[in-house]
Chain A
Amino acid sequence: MAHAYTPGLKVMPCTLFRKKRLLPIPGQVLVELGKEVEATDMVAQTELPGKVFPVNVANRMSVSPDEIKDLLLKKEGDTVKKGEIIAENKPFIKWFKTSIESPIDGTVDSVSNVTGQIMLREPPKVLPLLSYVKGKVVEVTPNFGVTVESEGTFIQGIFGIGGETNGEIMMAAKSPDEELTPESITEAARGKIIIGGKHAGLTVIKRCVEMGVKAIVVGGIHDRDLRQLLGYDIGVAVTGTEQVGLTLIVTEGFGMIPMAEYTFKLLASRNGEKASVSGATQIRAGVMRPEIIVPGFPKNVTECKKDQGRGWIEPGDPIRIIREPHFGVIGTVKSLPPELTIIGSESHARVLEVTLDGGEVIVIPRANIEVLEK
Chain B
Amino acid sequence: MSKKDLEVIIATDCGSTTTKAILIEKKGDTYRQTFRGEAPTTVEAPFEDVTKGVLNSITEVEELSGRKILDGEKIITPNNGNVGADIYVSTSSAGGGLQMMVAGAVKAMTGESAQRCALGAGAIVMDVLASNDGRADHEKIERIRQLRPDMMLLSGGTDGGTVTHVVELAQFLKAADPKPRLGASYKLPVIYAGNNMAQDKIKEILGDRTALIITENLRPTLERENLMPARHKIHDIFLEHVMQQAPGYPRLMKMVGAPIMPTPAAVGTMTEKFAKANNFNVLAVDIGGATTDVFSVFSEVFNRTVSANLGMSYSISNVMAEAGLANILRWLPFDMDEQDLRNRLKNKMIRPTTIPQTVEDLQIEHAVAREALRLAFDQHKALAVGLKGVQQERSISDAFDQTSSGASLINVMKLDYVIGSGGILAHSPRRTQSMMMMIDAYQPEGVTRMAVDSIFMMPHLGVLAQISEKAALDVFYHDCLVRLGTCLAPKGLAKDGQLIMEWEVTGSDGSKQAGQLRFGDMLHVPFACPKAKLVARPVNGFDMGAGSGNKVEADIEGGVVGLVLDGRGRPFNLSKEPAKRRDNLNKWYKAMEMYPV
Interface residues of A in 352-371 (CB under 8 A from B): 364-365, 367-368, 370
Q: Interface on chain A toward B: helix, strand, loop, or mixed SS?
A: loop
- Asked whether, in the complex, the Cβ of B339 is within 8 Å of the Cβ of A223, the reply is yes
Complex CA gap A349/B354 in Å reads: 11
Docked complex Cα distance between A364 and B354 (Å): 11
The answer to whether A115 and B339 touch across the interface, beta carbons within 8 angstroms, is no
| Binary CB contact string for chain A from 193 to 231 against chain B (1 if under 8 A, 0 otherwise) | 000000000000000000000000000001110110000
Verify B138–A51 contact, CB threshold 8 A: yes
**Interface membership of chain B positions 342-355, coded 1 if the CB is closer than 8 angstroms to chain A and 0 otherwise:** 11111101111111
Whether A236 lies near B349 (C-beta < 8 A) is yes
- A159, closest chain B residue (CB): B350
When distances are taken between beta carbons in the complex, the residues of chain B under 8 Å from A281 are 350
Residues of A close to B377: CB separation below 8 A = none
Q: A25-B179, A235-B321, A284-B290 are in contact. Are A115 and B168 (CB under 8 A)?
A: yes
**Is there contact, CB below 8 Å, between B168 and A254?**
no
Do B343 and A223 touch (CB < 8 A)?
Answer: yes
State the Cβ distance, B359 to closest chain A Cβ, in Å.
6
A344 to B349, CA, bound (A): 22
Query: Is B315 on the interface with A (CB-CB < 8 A)?
Result: yes
Known: A223-B343, A343-B357, A347-B429. A110 touches B175 (CB 8 A): yes
Report the Cα distance A286→B201, complex, angstroms. 41
Return the contact of B351 from the options A112, A226, A253, A255 (Cβ within 8 A).
Answer: A253
Per-position contact with A for B28-63: 1 when CB-CB < 8 Å, else 0? 000000000000000110000000000000000000
* Chief secondary structure at chain B's binding surface: helix
Number of residues from B at the complex interface, CB < 8 A: 60
The answer to whether A253 touches B167 (Cβ under 8 A) is no
Instruction: Chain B residues near A119: list those with CB within 8 A.
Output: 171, 175
Given A51-B138, A367-B354 in contact, is the A233-B164 Cβ separation under 8 Å?
Answer: no
The interface residues of chain A lying within 8 Å CB-to-CB of B344 are 254, 324
Over the window 154-187 of chain B, the binary record of Cβ atoms lying under 8 Å from chain A Cβ atoms (1 yes, 0 no) is: 0000000001100110011011110100001000
Chain A residue with the shortest CB-CB distance to B596: A346
Q: A370 — which chain B residues lie within 8 A by C-beta?
A: 351
Interface size grouping (class) on chain A: 35 or more
CA distance A103 to B368 in the complex (A): 48
Chain B residue with Cβ nearest A54 = B137
Contact digits for B295-329, partner A, Cβ 8 Å, 1 yes 0 no:
00000000000000100001101101110000000
B347 touches A233 (CB 8 A): no
CB-based contact B318/A158 at 8 Å: no
Contact of A323 among B43, B290, B357 (CB under 8 A): B357
Contact yes or no, B321 A233, CB < 8 A: yes
B253 contacts the other chain (Cβ, under 8 Å)? Answer: no
Nearest CB of A to B365, in Å? 9
- The answer to whether B177 touches A324 (Cβ under 8 A) is no
Cα distance A106–B184 in the bound complex, in angstroms: 27
Q: A324-B361, A344-B357 are in contact. Are A254 and B175 (CB under 8 A)?
A: no
Q: Which residue on A lies nearest to B96, using beta carbons?
A: A285
Measured in the bound complex, the distance between the Cα atoms of B350 and A159 in whole Å is 7
Interface centre among A232, A236, A322 (most CB of B within 10 A): A236
Bound form: Cα–Cα A109–B361 in Å: 58
Q: Is the CB of B314 within 8 A of A284?
A: yes
Chain B 133-151 interface residues, beta-carbon cutoff 8 Å to A: 137-138, 141-142, 145
Those of A266-286 within 8 Å (CB) of chain B: 281, 283-286
| Residue A52 is within 8 A (CB to CB) of chain B in the complex | yes
Contact assessment for B347 and A345 in the assembled complex, using a CB-CB cutoff below 8 Å = no
Q: Mark B457-487, 1 if CB is under 8 A from A, else 0.
A: 0000000000000000000000000000000
A130 contacts the other chain (CB 8 A): no
In the complex, whether A316 has a CB less than 8 A from a CB of chain B is no
Question: Which of B96, B142, B184, B356 neighbours the largest number of chain A CB atoms within 10 Å of its CB?
Answer: B356
Q: Are B141 and A222 touching (Cβ within 8 A)? A: no
B89 to chain A, nearest CB (A): 23
How many Å from the CB of B420 to the closest CB on chain A? 17
Contact residue among A49, A223, A237, A283 (Cβ-Cβ distance under 8 Å from B342): A223
Whether a CB of chain A sits under 8 angstroms from the CB of B65 is: no
**Is A114 part of the contact surface with B, judged by Cβ < 8 Å?**
yes
Contact B429 A52 (CB under 8 A): no
In whole angstroms, what is the CA distance A158 to B352 when docked? 12
| Chain A positions within 8 Å of B96 at CB level | 285
Is B138's CB under 8 angstroms from A54's CB?
yes
CB distance from A301 to the nearest CB of B (A): 27
Taking a contact as CB atoms under 8 Å apart, the answer to whether B317 and A283 are in contact is no
Which residues of chain B (216-259) have a CB below 8 Å from chain A? Answer: none
Q: Which residues of chain B are within 8 angstroms of A234 by Cβ–Cβ distance? A: 317, 321, 346
Say whether A262 faces chain B, with CB atoms less than 8 Å apart.
no
- B388 part of interface (Cβ distance < 8 Å): no
For the complex formed, measure the closest distance between the CB of B522 and the CB atoms of chain A, giving whole angstroms. 20
**A51 / chain B contacts, CB cutoff of 8 Å:** 138, 141-142
Residues of B within 8 A of A109 (CB): 175
Identity of the chain A residue whose Cβ is nearest the Cβ of B16 in the assembled complex = A285
Give a binary string over A91-123; 1 marks a CB under 8 Å from any B CB, 0 the rest. 000000000000000000110101101010100
Most buried by B among A223, A281, A367: A223
A297 within 8 A of partner (CB): no
Min C-beta distance of B278 to chain A, whole Å: 33
Chain B residues within 8 Å of A227, by CB: 342
In the complex, whether B392 has a CB less than 8 A from a CB of chain A is no
- Chain A nearest CB, measured from B178 CB (Å): 11
Pairwise interchain contact B317-A235, C-beta atoms closer than 8 A: yes
Which residue from B201, B321, B322 sits with its C-beta under 8 Å from A114?
B201
Smallest Cβ distance from B405 to chain A, in angstroms?
28
**B44 and A345 contacting across the interface, CB-CB below 8 Å:** no
Interface string of A11-27 (1 = CB under 8 A from B): 00000000000000110
Tell me the complex Cα distance, A109–B177, Å. 12
Q: Which residues of A contact B315 (CB under 8 A)?
A: 235-236
- Extra A-B contacts (10), CB below 8 Å, given A52-B138, A222-B339: A109-B175, A159-B350, A223-B339, A224-B339, A232-B321, A253-B346, A255-B343, A283-B350, A324-B360, A367-B354
Chain B residues packing against A (C-beta within 8 Å)? 16-17, 43-44, 94-96, 137-138, 141-142, 145, 163-164, 167-168, 171-172, 174-177, 179, 184, 201, 290, 309, 314-315, 317-318, 320-322, 338-339, 342-347, 349-362, 427, 429-430, 596
Between-chain CB contacts (< 8 Å), 25 pairs = A54-B141, A54-B175, A65-B164, A110-B175, A114-B163, A114-B168, A115-B164, A115-B168, A115-B171, A117-B168, A158-B351, A224-B339, A234-B346, A235-B321, A237-B314, A237-B349, A254-B342, A254-B343, A254-B344, A254-B346, A324-B344, A345-B357, A346-B359, A346-B362, A347-B429
7 pairs of A and B residues whose beta carbons are closest in the complex: A235-B318, A346-B429, A233-B321, A223-B342, A254-B343, A345-B362, A54-B137
